[in-house]
Amino acid sequence: MLDSSENFRAAFEAVTGSCLLLQPDAPAYTVVAITDELLGVLGLERQHVVGKSIFTVFPENPALPQATGAAELRTSLEYARQEKAHHHMPVVRYDIAAAEGVFEERYWSANSKPVVSPAGEVLYIIHATAEVTAQLLAEKKAQALRQVEKTYSLFLQAPVAVCIVTGPQHIVELANDEIHQFLGTTPAIIGKPLFEALPAAKAQGFPKLLDQVRTTGQPFYGTEYPVTLTLNGREELRYYNFVYQPYYEQPTDKAPWGCSAWRTT
């Protein structure tokens, strides 16, 4: 026969939900039991969790010095222990280390509830958590997409001639109506090398300028720069002010992937 404590743990482990049973032994908050469901969510073995501090089992991701997951968890447990009352944690990022030690981005909503004896002593803290990673990342993706669509719309409506070209082939990613009117091109140029449509510009050294910006990450400012264009069937020499800015696909990229070109006047 199992003794009462073993029966208690066995019953807790079988409970539906992602829960931890903790001792109120601050600052450690030692894990007494963990449900089978939470073990499955985390991909952990029970012997690697029970008997250890919750903060040892779930360390903060060292790659995120600004992370607040562990601090939020400690605040919740302290509240439950000291106030002897339920505490709801806001959704928080708390990355989990996989078997190989690599941290995975994870988000959680959680609650801490004390188990109080008739004498008013906190015997345990039940920490129940629900993973919301999939929902939160989906919301972030949708928000990012809305921002991209908004930026794209503003880009196309910009009252200046502007385009974005990427890679060593200078592939046209975006181009608004103003730039088409300026260069004499059409939207058919999108997705194609810029200088296939503008061979005359290629001969005037513009590919070299774009490569310089892309490889150095330094913008180029053209002031009263001479440009020969074919306008209305005739070649004309004109002078323009323009800017070539390095273009980064992601804000975290260290090297530009292309250039954004703006005709200022």
Mean pLDDT (10-residue bins), the chain, 265 residues: 66 90 96 94 90 94 90 96 95 85 90 95 95 88 70 68 88 86 84 86 88 92 84 78 85 80 68
CA gap 163, 210 in Å, rounded = 12
Query: For residue 173, which amino acid is it?
Result: E
Q: Cβ contacts of residue 4 below 8 Å, gap of 6+? A: none
C-alpha to C-alpha distance for 141 and 28, rounded to whole angstroms: 37
Residues 6+ apart with CB under 8 A from 45: 39
| CA distance linking residue 221 with residue 245, whole number of Å | 9
Strands (E) in 53-160, as ranges, are: 87-93, 96-97, 103-104, 107-116, 122-131
Angle at 41 between CA 35 and CA 46, to 5 degrees: 45
Looking at residue 114, its pLDDT comes to: 96
Query: 145-166 pLDDT, tens per residue?
Result: 676 666 667 666 667 788 889 9
Q: What is the pLDDT of residue 151?
A: 64
Q: Would strands 31-34 and 161-166 be described as parallel, antiparallel, or unpaired?
A: unpaired
Decide: helix, strand or coil at residue 115. strand
pLDDT value, residue 1: 38
What's the pLDDT score for residue 32?
95
| 110, 76 Cβ separation under 8 angstroms | yes
CB 115 within 8 A of CB 125: yes
Q: Are the C-beta atoms of 81 and 125 separated by less than 8 Å? A: yes
Q: Which helix (H) or strand (E) holds 31?
A: strand 31-34
In single-letter form, the type of residue at position 114 comes to: P
What is the pLDDT, as a whole number, of residue 126? 96
In whole angstroms, what is the distance from residue 122 CA to residue 85 CA? 10
CA–CA distance from 242 to each of 78, 178, 246, 260 (Å)? 60, 13, 13, 11
- Tens-digit pLDDT profile for residues 195-221: 888 887 888 889 999 999 999 999 999
In the chain the first and final C-alpha atoms are separated, in Å, by 88
Q: Give the pLDDT of residue 156.
A: 66
How far is residue 31 from each of residues 78, 84, 98, 110, 140, measured CA to CA in Å?
Answer: 15, 18, 19, 16, 33
Question: Could you tell me the pTM of the whole model?
Answer: 0.58
